Amino acid sequence: MNRRDFLKTTLLAAAAANAAPRQIPIGLNTYCLRAMKWNDSQLMEYTAGLKLDAMFLQDSLDPGVWEPSHWPKVKEQAKQLGLHLETGGPALLPKTPAEFDKSVKNLREAITRAAALGSPHVRCLAASDREHLPPGTPEQHIETMIKLLRSFALSQWIPT
């Protein structure tokens, strides 16, 4: 291929790409703003003020973060600001077998909250980092997480 053919092909490809523009949503993870100690409303206003499209509401410091009455307000404000909202929950791997039921409860709450906020999925961690893993092998941790995820039937409690 010579230089002229290369340029012609490149220009045609660029014209075709511009004919059907695709917008790639850009957002932020609120974890990067924790030091500001803002509530959810302030975080959304800031995100919208930056003209971003999306916000991942991680580790919210808002006092109402786990209050079901707070969630519709957050969802409505995100809608008014034109923000795609996503969220998650705490690390799930129980530190001891006695904490297994608490981990199941945490996952249920995270899914319920995400559904109420309109988040299409829930981000959860096995552990916050290697230092916080309970004793055991990676294989044991995988088995515990599988057991945790299978421990309840999703269709029995997910809000519609």
Give the pLDDT confidence score for residue 151 in this predicted structure: 83
Q: How far is CA 14 from CA 9, 10, 21, 57, 80, in A?
A: 9, 6, 11, 36, 34
pLDDT digits (tens, 9 = 90+) for 9-46: 776 776 666 655 567 889 999 999 999 999 999 999 99
Share of the chain above pLDDT 90, in %: 53
> How many CB atoms sit inside 10 A of residue 74's CB?
25
Residue 105, classed as helix, strand or coil, is helix
pLDDT digits (tens, 9 = 90+) for 110-134: 999 999 999 998 998 888 777 778 8
* Residue reference for tokens 């409303």: 41
